[in-house]
Structure 1
């Protein structure tokens, strides 16, 4: 190769490198702008964004602080209360495994497994498929906190105490202990709850409160131990779990809300959701904590249809079935446990879409009440994780939604990685 040709090759390489640097800088500037606007408008005091493309992390940045007093900066290894992201990160992989093993049938009556429903006329024929796709007509939510508080807001001592003893073992906070068998009362109320006669999309988290007990019955193991042994340890997701304040992690735990309903203090290191708290912090609807990196490992397991480093932890067929839209004819976008894009999402403007318009129809994920959001896209091989504590200082703060921050951010990464690669290939 003569010197002239070599100089041209070097110039081309330098130009490509320079263009890549400029594109990367432009992406960071756009992300910074959206998040700075969010912090300025108090959508959240701080956040972090992790994005992976083709199984490699291509973006992981932190912004802001744990609280608006700007004392503790957000760090990449911070542990977050994942809220409803728990649903797809704890009970759902267990349910998938039980379906794979033939211990659960999606289309058999759920009452075959949860025996109290056999005596309930409106529930005995409901299937697990209908339940997980939110197509069963179940009551959306029950505020169990009302069962343990008096009209003046004081806690009833027969259900909650400030110190533990043999009858009060379940810990809801540092100095709050729930009656050990309160879960039975919750189950009875769920069993008696009303079911709508209309079989349309109606989001309900009730069964996620009973799934942990069901999982224990079918596996013969404690719920959390089963998850650790079967999923979290094999993929190296060491921070994923419940009750992080009792585990001695060196990581900082991001606070959630200044709770004025139950704990009357800043909730930090203990589950924000009151229903999960009344179960002692270990539940299927909420209560899971973890870091962005450990969530990425779990999302990668899903995105690769159950495969982790060459080992099949979940069958491809089961992951595919759970992550597929179930009742599109009823305008129900949901998979089994997993959330899915709005039907026709790719035709919507960014301010109407959920999630980003560029997310493929095969993509799936879930959002959490505390301001968490995870999404996997097997078709485009893009994983998007957004962690925040938008409920600080109060859950009344809805600017995260009003400003449409998460879809806007997610769209940027589709444009930067997926669209760029599709035009260059």
Structure 2
């Protein structure tokens, strides 16, 4: 009897007698089946442990260790990735990690001159950050509130509400196109270089760079216009709308535009600005355009904390409410989580949220996974399928935006949460797992002599970078009588499985076990070796690959049963796991 089969028998016996001891390789929780709809009514964020949430704490700790390390010397970089960071992770309404590392104020100038130790300020879990483009989510919610109220129609021309916008080829641009960044407007504008009285009018006079609806361009002007739209339709300034209709009802007491002076000591410093000459920016919005508009704009200007953003995230997962306060209809939230950019692969976008962006969502990526990043080093990721929230706030532009990106940290945090989610074995108590960090091979002893073609079946849980030109995929190979390894075509059944016969398995977001079949043609009397190979992508990966239930037969019967004969399987890079 193989080790995996014996483990299953022991587990069954202990459960029946009521004396089971937890498998050291398995933490509580259930298989991460993708869930549809919203979280149960009344789901409210609360503190707890990873174990209480059914998560494996080790990947969380590993990810947070890397987040902390990047506040210091970073290989391949001249400077640290950021001076400091605050991370928050939540699953099923339970906040399982909340950590602050590094400093919210470290430098004196844009050259990176460090302040004396006594003048530096440590990062705190309640540090307030300039959220930068995460502001766009607040603006989008405010627009959709107007849609809920019936005062704005998504497919109406923006010019119906802002007549001054309907010039220079923009007459037919719709509200939806602004929200999905398909308006054709340019990516940026430099309003701060214009006279104050001409800043908003200059945005209204812009001409599209391409015909509306023909492509995706992430555009700040889109959101500046939507901020004006909210003000025009609501009859109130955007900062008041956000305060009274979003932050206030949700109890987000540290969220809003233009934070008062009393909160400045809790605000993370951003960049030392020489042009325009602002010095070390702290307590004022970093974005030059928002600053030139008085600190309030549709594309930037909101300050917030990790806990406040987590509340907003949970409200979205709940379908628009949190702790009894509703800020958006369930239909409005569905629109935020629905991809309207199917014609532009790679640029999936709901009404406000980016969708399915593995470069910062990691293994949480999926068709409904929503998020947004901010230039100052911020990110929010929401995974409705697992009801998870990942918040990373950093001051990566402190003291100089040219010091580089923190995308690696964004992806690392989301990936840590993804890897902590349970993947129960398809058969028995263990499955073979290939870590996405490195290639892996699982090779069988030769089986045979066969009498005709060998039939191979197994189950596979595949969460990989779904890129036709990349690696990050699972292959099955066969060696007949020592003639060398050759790929074996595969057929898979299950949610998200590829159609027809394929050379390799890849995909993400479906989070289901696939039933996989293959046939190895061999002459009578031949010996066949099998090898499962996982080839990870060099840059972006998912949660990796699990293989279970390996079974090989010919017309006479079983040649290999991976559950009973797992000692005939030899791993290089694969590990047996209970999750």
SS where residue 387 of structure 1 aligns?
A: strand
Shift of 1:311: 4.5
TM normalised by structure 1 equals: 0.80
CA deviations over 1:129-163 (Å, ceiling 9, x no partner): 1111111110111112332xxxxxxxxxxx5xxxx
Q: 2:321 aligned with 1:307, yes or no?
A: yes
Q: Provide the aligned C-alpha RMSD in A.
A: 2.8
TM-score computed with the length of structure 2 as normaliser: 0.60
Query: As a proportion of its length, which structure holds more helix?
Result: 1
Q: Kindly tell me: are residues 37 and 281 of structure 1, through their superposed partners in 2, closer, same or farther at Cα, counting changes over 3 Å? A: closer
The within-5 A match list for 1:253-292 is 253-292=267-306
The aligned runs of 1:150-229 (5 Å cut-off) are: 182=196, 184-198=197-211, 199-229=214-244
Per-residue deviation, 1:16: 9.0
**Contact persistence 1:38–1:400 (CA under 8 A):** no
Aligned counterparts of 2:264 and 2:294: Cα–Cα separation in 1? 23
* Aligned position for 1:298: 312
Structure 2 unaligned segments of length 5 or more: list them: 1-13, 29-49, 75-79, 107-113, 426-510, 514-577
Distance across 1 between alignment mates of 2:366 and 2:411: 13
CA displacement, residues 15-34 of structure 1 (integer Å, 9 cap, x when unaligned): 69999889525631342034
Report whether the alignment pairs 1:103 with 2:117.
no
Unaligned segments of structure 1, at least 5 residues: 148-158, 160-181, 346-352
- Where relative contact order (Cα < 8 A, 6+ residues apart) is larger, the structure is 1
Count of matched residue positions in the alignment of Structure 1 and Structure 2: 372
1:37, distance to aligned residue in structure 2 (A): 3.7
Query: Which residue of structure 2 aligns with residue 114 of structure 1?
Result: 162
Secondary structure in 2 aligned to 1:130? helix
SS in 2 for 1:189: helix
The residue number in structure 2 matching 1:141 is 188
In 2, Cα distance between equivalents of 1:337 and 1:13: 43
Q: CA deviation at 1:379?
A: 1.3
Instruction: Summarize deviations over 1:189-235 as a string: whole Å, max 9, x none.
Output: 11222202342111111132233332222112332222222221111
Choose which of 374, 389, 395 in structure 1 pairs with 2:401.
Answer: 395
Corresponding residue SS for 1:40:
coil
Q: Does the 8 A contact of 2:178 with 2:226 survive in 1?
A: no
Q: Please say which structure displays the higher CA radius of gyration.
A: 2
Q: CA deviation at 1:38?
A: 5.3
How many Å separate the matches in 2 of 1:244 and 1:312? 24
CA 1:187–1:264 in 2, change beyond 3 Å: closer, same or farther? closer
Contact map agreement 1:96 1:314 (CA 8 A) in 2? yes
CA distance in 2: counterparts of 1:245 and 1:230, whole angstroms: 19
Secondary structure at the aligned position of 1:230 is classed as: helix
* Structure 1 counterpart of 2:417: 413
CA distance in 1, matches of 2:59, 2:231: 49
- On the 8 A contact 2:270/2:376 being kept in 1, the answer is yes
8 Å CA contact 2:183, 2:222 repeated in 1: no
